[in-house]
Chains A and B, each alone.
Chain A
Amino acid sequence: MNDHIRQRLPDLIGAALAIGLGSYAWIASGSYAAGTLRDMGPGYFPRLVAAGLVCLGLLLAATSLKSGPTRFGGDRPELSSVLLIGAGLSSFALLIERNGLLPAVFVAVLLSTFASDNRNISRSVLLAALTAGACAAVFVYGLNLPMKVFAL
Chain B
Amino acid sequence: MTGSLLDNIVLGFGVALSFEGLLYCALGVLLGTVVGVLPGLGTMATLAILMPITYHIDPTFAVIMLSGIYYGAAYGGSTASILLNLPGTVTSVITTLDGYPMAKSGKAGLALFITAVASFVGSMLGAVMLAVLTVPLARIAMQFGPQEYFMLMAFGLIAASMLSTGQPLKSLVMVCTGMLLGIVGLDLNSGAARFTFGMPEFYDGLSLVAIAMGLFGLPEIISAARRGPEGMVTNEKISIRSMLPSTAEWKASAMPMMRGTGIGAFFGALPGTGGVIATFISYAVEKKLSRTPERFGKGAIEGVAAPEAANNAAVQTAFIPTMSLGIPGDAVMAIMLGVLMVHGIVPGPSVISDNPQLFWGLVASFVVGNVFLVILNVPLVGLWVRLLRVPYHLLFPVMVACVCVGVYSVSSSVTDIYVLLVFGLIGIGLRVLRFDGATLLLGFVLGPMIEENFRRAMVVSGGEFAPFVERPISAAFLLAGAALVLWFSGRFLMRAVRA
Contacts and interface: CB of A to CB of B under 8 A. Distances in A.
B398 A131 contact: yes
Contact of A42 (B169, B170, B194, B404): B194
Interface in B147-190: 167, 169-170, 172-173, 176-177, 179-180, 183, 187, 189-190
Q: How would you classify the secondary structure of chain B's contact residues: helix, strand, loop or mixed?
A: helix
B400 A89 contact: yes
Interface stretch (B66-74, B359-367, B457-465): B457-465
Given A53-B177, A92-B417, A39 B459 contact: yes
Interface stretch (B214-222, B280-288, B307-315): B214-222
Contacts of A68: 499
Contact of B222 (A50, A81, A97, A144): A81
Interface residues of B, number: 68
B293 interface: no
B42 to A, nearest CB: 16
Interface string B385-419: 00000001110111011001100110010100110
A88 B400 contact: yes
Contacts of A128: 397
Interface in B12-36: none
Max chain A Cβ within 10 angstroms of own Cβ: one of B172, B400, B420, B428: B400
Nearest to A106: B401
Interface in B400-446: 400-401, 404-405, 408-409, 412, 414, 417-418, 420-421, 424-425, 428, 431-435
Interface stretch (B223-231, B256-264, B297-305, B371-379): B223-231
Nearest to A105: B401
Q: How would you classify the secondary structure of chain A's contact residues: helix, strand, loop or mixed?
A: helix
Interface string A57-77: 101100100111011110111
A37 B417 contact: no
B496 interface: yes
Contact of B190 (A28, A41, A52): A41
Given A45-B183, A81-B222, A81-B225, A38 B459 contact: yes
Nearest to A83: B222
B194 A29 contact: yes
Interface in B212-267: 218-219, 221-223, 225-228
Contact of B417 (A10, A29, A93, A131): A93
A111 B172 CA distance: 37
A131 B405 CA distance: 12
Interface string B182-217: 010001011010110000000000000000000000
A56 B158 CA distance: 13
B49 interface: yes
A36 B463 contact: yes
A22 B459 CA distance: 26
Given A42-B189, A96-B408, A139-B409, A49 B180 contact: yes
A108 B458 CA distance: 49
A143 B433 CA distance: 40
A101 B412 CA distance: 12
B482 to A, nearest CB: 16
Contact of B412 (A71, A73, A78, A146): A146
B469 interface: no
B454 interface: yes
A81 B454 contact: no
B169 A63 contact: yes
Contact of B463 (A11, A22, A38, A66): A38
Contacts of B228: 117
Contact of B455 (A25, A40, A145): A40
A147 interface: yes
B145 interface: no
Contacts of A66: 496, 499
Contacts of A110: 397
Contacts of A90: 417-418, 421
Nearest to A51: B176
B420 A89 contact: yes
Nearest to B465: A37
B291 interface: no
Nearest to B451: A45
A52 B227 CA distance: 40
Contact of A101 (B172, B180, B226, B405): B405
Interface in A101-152: 101, 104-105, 108-110, 112-113, 115-118, 124, 127-128, 131-132, 135, 139, 143-147
16 contacts: A13-B433, A45-B451, A46-B183, A53-B176, A60-B169, A67-B496, A71-B434, A73-B432, A76-B428, A82-B428, A88-B400, A93-B418, A109-B400, A112-B396, A144-B53, A145-B409
